[in-house]
């Protein structure tokens, strides 16, 4: 695949991003495209490795290795190298429902298991994926393709995040009449309100929604099933239901001072910023970092998005607390290829903070122990302590406070980005759905069937908090199981 000696001739070259001082002044995407000739060279780096782990999509030591949607990566890399862009798009869309999303927000486990990465920098798979689909839209190759016939079966998809959209698109391909319910005022779920605009422009999301509507999918907005639309009615009016509710219960931090004003869950902060951005009024957002000392608690993708958003709102200072130890600079012996590389890196938010403030905003192996407030009930600081991770007799690793490392960090805005505990209870209780030990919807992988006949579950609501690409895979797979239930057979691909 690609040029036989391409990985020896061409170095890895990623697309340039907009300069930090410029991009933090707005919420526009920071990506810039590479010229086609340079993309061709990057595709040429894909070697004829024989056993390409890049599209394996398996778990190794608890982390994703390779692409969960099993993208035909070597094939479309080769086609890009040869300049056959439309053919490359065809191969990409065989398995990828929304490459314009994953090509922007996926952490690219495919690149972590790229064979070139054994001895050199991996192929820029994510970048090539994004450019294939964007060229497809520019050239008019991506167009509505409604099914040639309808089965007469009606399916409700609850939730319009990545798993819901993937399930809806796949079920519509099979000819079922699909209605997607979304409680927000715009479709997209996490893609619309959870991921900030500079990382995923909302016009990109709405472009896909418009395509799906043109293919016959109906979106019902401002409608929360179980509140505005009775759960019993859902079961009466549809032949099958696919629940793609997400894991939207945020993990809280129950320490003294939690009741103080100025402490918010990360998703509330991100959602309100995007809502006001779409309304053309970013400065009017009720949760603003402008002129404030900001502390972000949590080191994952959501924490990074809070960092990037706070910088664009004009925060005075910024600290990001991470309870885990910092990962090593290089792959350790206990983290061999093709596992996802656990290495220290600067994501876009940390890169921006480093350039603006002169240092990495992250403070590792530290935890908050108390929020401090003033006589008006507003948060003014966060008390922290360093932790050392120790192993208990039963083999668990737990953090122990390190005496003498206490610190007080000024903060008028604190953002809690510590992950999510599972789906919200209301609809699940109304439907009397069985839960797994982690409170997610009990629906075995493969069948995706709940304890209610004709009701399926996919994405974070079933598997717990995970990657967008896993949500898309699950949406497609649940659609296949739903089609099998409705028709007695299925031709839908995974």
Residue 253 within any structural domain of the chain: no
Taking 70 as the threshold, does the pLDDT of residue 242 lie above it?
yes
Residue 106 within any structural domain of the chain: yes
For residue 88, give the CATH number of its domain.
1.10.1060.10
Residue-averaged pLDDT of the chain: 96
* Boundary-marking domain end, from 83, 107, 139: 139
Residues 179 and 194 in one domain: yes
Residues 352 and 412 in one domain: yes
Question: Following CA atoms 476, 482, 486, 487 in sequence, which dihedral angle do they give, to the nearest 10 degrees?
Answer: 40
Residues 44 and 165 in one domain: no
User: Counting beta carbons within 10 angstroms of the beta carbon of residue 448, is it exposed (0 to 12), middle (13 to 18) or buried (19 or more)?
Assistant: buried
Residues 382 and 443 in one domain: no
pTM strictly above 0.75: yes
Would you place residue 48 in the very low, low, confident or very high pLDDT band (cuts 50, 70, 90)? confident
Closest of 118, 103, 113 to residue 34, by C-alpha: 103
| Model pLDDT, residue 50 | 86
| Model pLDDT, residue 284 | 77
SS3 (DSSP) at 380? strand
| Model pLDDT, residue 480 | 98
Least confident range of 78-92, 277-291, 437-451: 277-291
Would you place residue 313 in the very low, low, confident or very high pLDDT band (cuts 50, 70, 90)? very high
Residue 162 within any structural domain of the chain: yes
| Model pLDDT, residue 234 | 94
The two tokens of residue 254 are 């129950």
Residues 285 and 403 in one domain: yes
Residue 390 within any structural domain of the chain: yes
**pLDDT one-digit tens code per residue, 346-371:** 999 999 999 999 999 999 999 999 99
Would you place residue 3 in the very low, low, confident or very high pLDDT band (cuts 50, 70, 90)? confident
Residues 441 and 410 in one domain: no
| Model pLDDT, residue 280 | 87
* Boundary-marking domain end, from 111, 139, 167: 139
- H/E element holding 135? helix 125-139
Would you place residue 1 in the very low, low, confident or very high pLDDT band (cuts 50, 70, 90)? low
* Boundary-marking domain end, from 382, 399, 416: 416
Would you place residue 287 in the very low, low, confident or very high pLDDT band (cuts 50, 70, 90)? very high
Higher pLDDT, 59 or 195: 195
Residues 411 and 273 in one domain: yes
Tally of domains within the chain: 3
| Model pLDDT, residue 25 | 96
Q: Which domain holds residue 460?
A: 154-248+421-487
Beta strand pairing status for 154-158 and 177-181?
parallel
Would you place residue 81 in the very low, low, confident or very high pLDDT band (cuts 50, 70, 90)? very high
**pLDDT one-digit tens code per residue, 148-189:** 999 999 999 999 999 999 999 999 999 999 999 999 999 999
The two tokens of residue 102 are 């994953």
């Amino acid at each position: 695949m690609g040029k036989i000696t391409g990985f020896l001739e061409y170095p890895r070259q990623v697309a340039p991003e907009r300069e930090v001082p410029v991009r933090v002044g707005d919420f526009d995407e920071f990506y810039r495209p590479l010229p086609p000739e340079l993309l061709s060279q990057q595709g040429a780096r894909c070697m004829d490795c024989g056993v390409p782990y890049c599209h394996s999509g398996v778990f190794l030591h608890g982390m994703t290795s390779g692409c969960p949607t099993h993208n035909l990566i070597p094939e479309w890399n080769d086609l890009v190298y040869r300049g056959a862009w439309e053919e490359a798009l065809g191969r990409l869309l065989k398995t990828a429902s929304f490459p314009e999303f994953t090509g922007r927000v996926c952490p690219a486990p495919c690149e972590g298991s790229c064979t070139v990465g054994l001895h050199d920098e991996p192929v820029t798979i994510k970048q090539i994926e994004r450019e294939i689909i964007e060229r497809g839209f520019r050239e008019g190759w991506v167009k509505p393709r409604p099914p040639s016939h309808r089965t007469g079966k009606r399916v409700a998809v609850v939730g319009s995040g990545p798993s819901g959209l993937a399930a809806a698109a796949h079920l519509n391909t099979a000819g079922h009449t699909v209605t997607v319910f979304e409680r927000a005022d715009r479709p997209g779920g996490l893609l619309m309100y959870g991921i900030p605009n500079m990382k995923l422009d909302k016009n990109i999301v709405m472009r896909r929604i418009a395509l799906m509507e043109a293919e016959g999918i109906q979106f019902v907005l401002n409608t929360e099933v179980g509140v505005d639309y009775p759960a019993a009615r859902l079961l009466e009016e549809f032949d099958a239901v696919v629940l793609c509710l997400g894991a939207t219960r945020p993990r809280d931090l129950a320490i003294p001072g939690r009741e103080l004003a100025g402490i918010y869950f990360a998703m509330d902060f991100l959602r309100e910023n995007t809502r006001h951005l779409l309304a053309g009024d970013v400065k009017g957002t009720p949760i603003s970092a402008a002129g404030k000392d900001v502390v972000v608690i949590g080191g994952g993708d959501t924490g990074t998005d809070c960092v990037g958003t706070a910088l664009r709102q004009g925060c005075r200072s910024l600290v990001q607390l991470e309870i885990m130890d910092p990962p090593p600079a290089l792959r350790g012996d206990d983290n061999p290829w093709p596992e996802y590389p656990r290495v220290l890196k600067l994501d876009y938010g940390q890169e921006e903070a480093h350039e603006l403030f002169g240092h990495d905003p992250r403070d590792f192996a530290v935890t908050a122990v108390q929020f401090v407030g003033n006589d008006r009930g507003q948060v003014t600081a966060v008390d922290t302590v360093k932790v050392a991770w120790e192993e208990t007799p039963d083999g668990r690793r737990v953090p122990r406070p390190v005496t003498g490392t206490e610190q007080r960090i000024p903060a008028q805005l604190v953002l809690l980005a510590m992950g999510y505990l599972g789906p919200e209870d209301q609809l699940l209780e109304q439907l009397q759905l069985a839960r797994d030990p982690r409170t997610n919807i009990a629906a075995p992988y493969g069948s995706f069937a709940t304890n209610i006949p004709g009701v399926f579950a996919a994405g974070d609501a079933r598997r717990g908090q995970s990657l967008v690409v896993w949500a898309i895979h699950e949406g497609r797979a649940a659609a296949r199981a739903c089609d099998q239930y409705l028709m007695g057979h299925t031709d839908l691909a995974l």
